[in-house]
Each structure stands twice: as C-alpha cells, then as structure tokens.
Structure 1
Amino acid sequence: MIEFNRPHMTGNEFEYIAQAKRGHVLAGDGPFTKKCSSWLEEITGCAKALLTHSCTSALEMSALLLDIAPGDEIIMPSYTFVSTANAFVLRGGVPVFVDIREDTLNLDETLIESAITTRTRAIVPVHYAGVACEMDTIMDIARRYGINVVEDAAQGLMANYKGRALGSIGDFGALSFHETKNIISGEGGALMVNDHSKIHRAETIREKGTDRSRFFRGEVDKYTWQEVGSSFLPGDLVAAFLWAQMEEAQTITDLRLSIWSRYHNAFASLERAGVLRRPFIPQECGHNAHMYYVLLREDIDRHKILQELKQHGIGAVFHYVPLHTSPAGQRYGRLHGSLALTDTLSERLIRLPLWVGLTNEQQSQVVEVLSRAICRQA
C-alpha cells in the first residue's frame, strides 16, 4: 500500500514532549510555544506569530479582529476548505465566491474589484498548494478600497511570493500544522499578525478576551475580561512536538521538493500529449511542494482513474468540493459571476501521494499506474 499521506517524524518530537513534562509547563504559551512563535517571526518577518489550535482557529481570530458583523461581505474562492468560509460565517459574514485562475487554481485577482460592494470588509486569498496568489494586485485593490486582506496560508509555510513569506503580506495570515501539512503537530495552526498596532488585541482575543499576556509581562497589575474572545491557545506539549518539526523545516521542504520534481519530470510527456496538465508555478512564486496534482483532460473519467489507482494500492484523492455547490455554501454565501473554472477544474484534479520517505520505487509505481490508466482512456 502506498498511502496518500504519512506523517513525518524528525526524531526529537517525544524527547521535547518529555522535556515539557519535566519542566511542569503543559498549558499554552510555555517555553516551546515561545520557541515556535519566535521561529515563525524570524522565518516569515511577521510582526507577531501566535500559535493556535488550528488554522481554523487562526481564521476565526482574524474575523474577530476585523469585527466582522452580520451582512459583512468577504471575497474568497469557492475552491477552498470549509474553514475559509466558516470563520467568517460564524460572525454573520457573507462569503462572496469568486472564480479561480486556470493556471494556479488560485483566486482570480482580475475578478476581485468587480465583486466589491459597500459591504465588503475583507479579501481572503487562499495560496493553493503552497503557490502564492498574485499578492501585489490584491494588496493594491485592498489599499484603494480600504479593505483588509487575510491570507489563508494553511498550505503555505516555507513558500514565498517575490521573496516574502506567505501569510506575512496581508493584514493577517493563517497557517496550518495539521498532520497532512509539511510541518506538523497533529492539529495546530498560527495567526500571523502583520501590523504591530494589532498585536495586543490579537493576544487579548486569543486569551479568552482577557489581557493575561500583558499581566505576565508586567504591563498591568491584574488581568480581566476586556472583550469577546475565546481559548485559542494550544498546550505546550503540542508546541514541543511542533518545535522538533520546525528545527528540520528546511530539510523537510528540500526532501518534498525533490519528490515533487520527480513527479513533474515524469509527467512531462503526458502533458505534451495533451492528456493531463501539470501544476504551474509562476516565476515570482517560491513553492514548498505541499502537494503534487494533475489535471486530467476533460473527457477522461476521474472516477475510473482513482478506482484503478486504488486497486493497485495507491492512495490518490480528489480535492475540494467547491463551496458554492454545497448546502451550506448556498445557504450562507453568494456567487459573483460565473464560477466555470472552479466547476470544471475541481472535477479534473487528482492529488498524488507526497510525503517524506516516499521511495523512488514507490513513486515510479504511482507514475506507471497513473500513466497506464490515463492512456487506456485517451
């Protein structure tokens, strides 16, 4: 069996968890949490990195920080995970679904401006597969209209746009350390705050709406409830696991890039034959090999391809069901124009196994079985 994903362990995870136990600090914002936050700030250049339970939590914090109220509109792609929309719908926000680009499958920046109304409060670009959206254009639109940008960089750690880390460009950025991501803690995430003036409020919201962080820094003589917040802190045991991953982040990224490149080279001939399309990486984007996918020619039956891969013990999957086609998406969101590319591309995409430790032999088997299955239909 070639699993779709196998969580990678660097070797120090349980030793660091044991260190946290011996230090008698298990709750949030302990020594390992501080190590992880400092590392994120150094590697991304953000003003403040706050570890959270998940990327979902980080997105929910951003909605609170933006004071999203019922009826406020948030522009985002429909081709994304449900958390991108849920975080704002929880505050009464209305997702406005915009189509994606054909090349990167990212939010089409040329459609954003026409989607803006007097109720628009934020744009949420999703950096699909760790490949950056066209952030210069998005930030220019946001500045001209006075609206905020929240980067959904769940898949984006160790990737960049014109040398700038994903998640560090907008007002806020959200990262994921779910076990399916490159750098993991089982569950986990982080909110990246890119404006120094918003740090204290972000800390307050993360600490159940209290000024507890300021109290422990000696800035106030007691802490109390200041505003609406929730418990968004992960325990230091989670951070201890995560720190072992962060120490090896560049090595992990390099290994994944090698696997990604082998797939990319192997499928070049099928792309030339017109039966599939490989991922496209714009010149200004430094990606992190979060995933490798192929887009099948429109007349090829994806279900049959996936069935054949499964019969050979290969764990390949499709990805998002577009939110605008879901019951909740139709209930809480609205469409801006045609989402034709979202509809067609989502139905043609197959994600292939990609994890540290995938051998050349296993990868060759994936390539061989997929190529044979596609050519049988072509």
Structure 2
Amino acid sequence: MTNKRIPFNWPHMTGKELYYIAEAHFNGRLAGDGPFTKLCHNWLQERTGSSKALLTHSCTASLEMAALLLDIQPGDEIIMPSYTFVSTANAFVLRGGIPVFIDIREDTLNINERFIEPAITPRTRAIVPVHYAGIACEMDTIMSIAKNHNLKVVEDAAQGVMATYKGRALGSIGDLGAYSFHETKNVISGEGGALLINDHKLSLRAEIIREKGTNRSQFYRGEVDKYTWQEIGSSFLPGELIAAFLWAQFEEADKITQKRMVAWQRYHELLAPLESSGVIRRPVIPKECHHNAHMYYVILGPEIDRQKILDVLNRNDINAVFHYVPLHSSPAGLRYARAHGSLEITNKLSERLLRLPLWVDITESKQNKVIDVLKEAIYSATH
C-alpha cells in the first residue's frame, strides 16, 4: 500500500493463499466440499466446539440457511436488534417472517436482553442476537428466555470470529450461529461465511438444505447408494478456491487476532484523554467478554456534528465511516418488519457512532495521525 491515504480497511494476506489456491488447481478439485473445505470445517468445529460447521458463500447465506432450518413460515416473528446489517432481517423476511426490532444496550450496542421478553407474542419463533464489534451479547439471559418460551436462538456472529463469551466461542452458544469471512472481517476469504450447527438434530437437514435440497453429502460418505431431492434447499456452498484461501487465514487466525488487539489497544489508550474530557465515549467491554478487535469505534458527544468530523478526516486522507441506518427506519423495515418500543438508544447512538480505520498491519504512525486529526476536528466542532 503506497497511497498516502489511510483506508478504512486493508485486507491482510498471510502469504500462503495463492499457494493453496494453486494446490487446489493442481488437485483438479474446484467445486465445493473438497479437501480444503474439510480442513476448514474441522478447524471450525475444533475451535468452537460446535457439533457441525458448514462453509457457505456468505454470512447472509448462513442466515438464510438458518431460516430454512427453523422452518420459518409467513407471519412468524423473529426478535432482533434494529441496529444491524440488513442480512439479519432479510434472511427471515425471505421466508415470510416478520422481524420484530427491539432496542440495544447503551454500553455494548448489543440487543438489550431486558426488552426481549416483553416483545414475545404467540407468533414468536426465534431470537437473533447480533454480537456487535465482536463483543458478546448477554447470552446466558438470552438462552434462558429462549428455553422458557420454547424459542430458537440464531447468533449473528458475523463480526465474532475468535471472540468468546465466558470462554465459549461466539456462534457456538445458540442453536445456530453465522460467521462472515468478508474482506472487511478479521479472517477473510473475500466473500464467504459459515454456519455453526449446535443442535445436532439439525445437522443432517443443514447438509441437505446446503446441497440444493439433496442428500449428496450422505452419498459421498457412502451412507446411501444414490442421492436425490429430499426437501427445499439451495446452493449455499462456496467453491474450493475460496476454502483454500480461507485455510491460509485459519492457520494464522491467532496471530491475526493478536495483531488486531495491539492496534485496538493503541487506539483505546490514545483516546482516553478525549473520553475523560467528555467529548467521546470509547467502547465498553464487559468482563465476561473476550473480544476480537474487529473494529474500533467512538461515540461522539451529542453536541458534535458527525458529518463535519467525517469531512475533516476525509480532507486529511483518512477514510472513517459510520453505520448502520437502523433497520426500523429504513423503507424495507417499515414495510416488512415492526418495532417494539421506542428504540430510543438505537436512534441516539446510531447518529453518533464513528468507526476508525483498523486492520492487521496498520502502523503506529497511521494511528497517531488518525487520532491527531480526530482531536483537531473535535476541538473545532466544540469551540
């Protein structure tokens, strides 16, 4: 990277990606579920403790598989935060489900577990906690509520690879968990994802749904003498080249996480004075959560115009961003979903959150520049 501009993200390569892709090419196995896919499946199962892991072509695909596995029907309700990416809701809307948006916690920006039970109706089928920034939702409480009301839990752990809650891998706690390996995530394959199946009773159906509704996986294992159409499904598996790339990343996942944590902690220390002065708030990490340094964000003070801060950063060749537009206020959200409660915290914090550039090999000098410019921008905005 030679451009003086500081990008928001820069994909990290371990150095073995092209070697493994060439190996897959040499092996003559390019379709899904080849040797590299199996290596990735085994790695995920060993690292998370899930009964089964299946690579998919995106986290979106994993969530769509989850909706199919839970047999979501038109009119079924699924409780989730509004402060999330569109795929969280879209996966269930495709099956006719109705997302029910509830507010988030002010500290972690995760779904507020206190608001789940009041949102439950006779039509509620599932809860979808989203582990924002790789920081875990309050899963013990969520799992207890689900058990008491006979609901399923699908963890949207798109940002949660290599993060834990009370020592348990995110994505491995609910009935199902969805990971993302998009190039903006910590461990990447360009596009890609995985579905973790933690309820072993869903494992066989998950294989069938992922393989166009056929029992081809059983056929390849020699468990049946032919495969055929069994039930509704689609083509959710990635090609072997994607898996080969991902395997190179999995081999270095601990080092990648460690480097990101160093950069995250550097931001955290540099921003302590700004937090002390009351103009920003830094991320909050509950003691039971071990995060993965997926992102570093700040919450700007209510008196600060975020767009002016972004403009100053951009003029200084720093690409900072914000997200999300809350789904309950989006055109599709108004059409396909409903909100429960005022969602006051979602509305407030979504307008004040600012994400800073962060990637594996970001240098200390680049981080210093980001913070220096941010300080100047905030000073100008508040004086």
Tell me the distance in 1 between the aligned counterparts of 2:211 and 2:43: 21
Tell me the distance in 1 between the aligned counterparts of 2:310 and 2:179: 29
Query: Which runs of structure 1 show a deviation greater than 6 angstroms over 4 or more consecutive aligned residues?
Result: none
Structure 1 gap segments, 5+ residues each: none
2:354 matched to which residue of 1?
Answer: 350
Using the TM superposition, give the Cα deviation of residue 35 of structure 1 relative to its aligned residue in structure 2, in angstroms.
0.3
- Other structure's SS at 2:78 match: strand
Using the TM superposition, give the Cα deviation of residue 372 of structure 1 relative to its aligned residue in structure 2, in angstroms.
1.1
Correspondent of 1:124 among 128, 133, 142: 128
Using the TM superposition, give the Cα deviation of residue 195 of structure 1 relative to its aligned residue in structure 2, in angstroms.
1.4
Tell me the distance in 1 between the aligned counterparts of 2:375 and 2:136: 29
Structure 2 gap segments, 5+ residues each: none
Tell me the distance in 1 between the aligned counterparts of 2:237 and 2:163: 25
2:59 matched to which residue of 1?
Answer: 55
Equivalent residue letter for 2:375: S
1:25 matched to which residue of 2?
Answer: 29
Cα deviation code 1:22-78 (max 9, x no counterpart): 000000000000000100000000010000000000000000000000000000000
Tell me the distance in 2 between the aligned counterparts of 1:322 and 1:316: 19
Tell me the distance in 1 between the aligned counterparts of 2:255 and 2:12: 12
Correspondent of 1:189 among 188, 193, 212: 193
Using the TM superposition, give the Cα deviation of residue 376 of structure 1 relative to its aligned residue in structure 2, in angstroms.
1.7
- Matched residue count: 378
Q: CA RMSD in A?
A: 0.4
- Kindly indicate whether residue 68 of structure 2 is the aligned counterpart of residue 64 of structure 1: yes
- Kindly indicate whether residue 347 of structure 2 is the aligned counterpart of residue 340 of structure 1: no
Query: Where do residues 204-243 of structure 1 align in structure 2 (5 Å cutoff)?
Result: 204-243=208-247
- Kindly indicate whether residue 379 of structure 2 is the aligned counterpart of residue 375 of structure 1: yes
Equivalent residue letter for 2:92: F
Using the TM superposition, give the Cα deviation of residue 332 of structure 1 relative to its aligned residue in structure 2, in angstroms.
0.3
Correspondent of 1:112 among 86, 97, 116: 116
Using the TM superposition, give the Cα deviation of residue 278 of structure 1 relative to its aligned residue in structure 2, in angstroms.
0.1
Tell me the distance in 1 between the aligned counterparts of 2:231 and 2:282: 48
Tell me the distance in 2 between the aligned counterparts of 1:253 and 1:15: 22
Relative to the length of structure 2, the TM-score reads 0.98
- Other structure's SS at 1:50 match: strand
Tell me the distance in 2 between the aligned counterparts of 1:308 and 1:126: 31
Tell me the distance in 1 between the aligned counterparts of 2:141 and 2:111: 11
Query: Where do residues 1-378 of structure 1 align in structure 2 (5 Å cutoff)?
Result: 1-378=5-382
Tell me the distance in 1 between the aligned counterparts of 2:163 and 2:360: 17
- Other structure's SS at 2:15 match: coil
Relative to the length of structure 1, the TM-score reads 1.00
Tell me the distance in 2 between the aligned counterparts of 1:151 and 1:335: 20
Tell me the distance in 2 between the aligned counterparts of 1:18 and 1:252: 23
Equivalent residue letter for 2:243: A
Tell me the distance in 1 between the aligned counterparts of 2:301 and 2:308: 13
Q: Quote the sequence identity (%).
A: 70
- Other structure's SS at 1:313 match: coil
- Other structure's SS at 2:54 match: strand
Using the TM superposition, give the Cα deviation of residue 375 of structure 1 relative to its aligned residue in structure 2, in angstroms.
1.6
- Other structure's SS at 1:74 match: strand
Using the TM superposition, give the Cα deviation of residue 319 of structure 1 relative to its aligned residue in structure 2, in angstroms.
1.0
Using the TM superposition, give the Cα deviation of residue 197 of structure 1 relative to its aligned residue in structure 2, in angstroms.
1.5
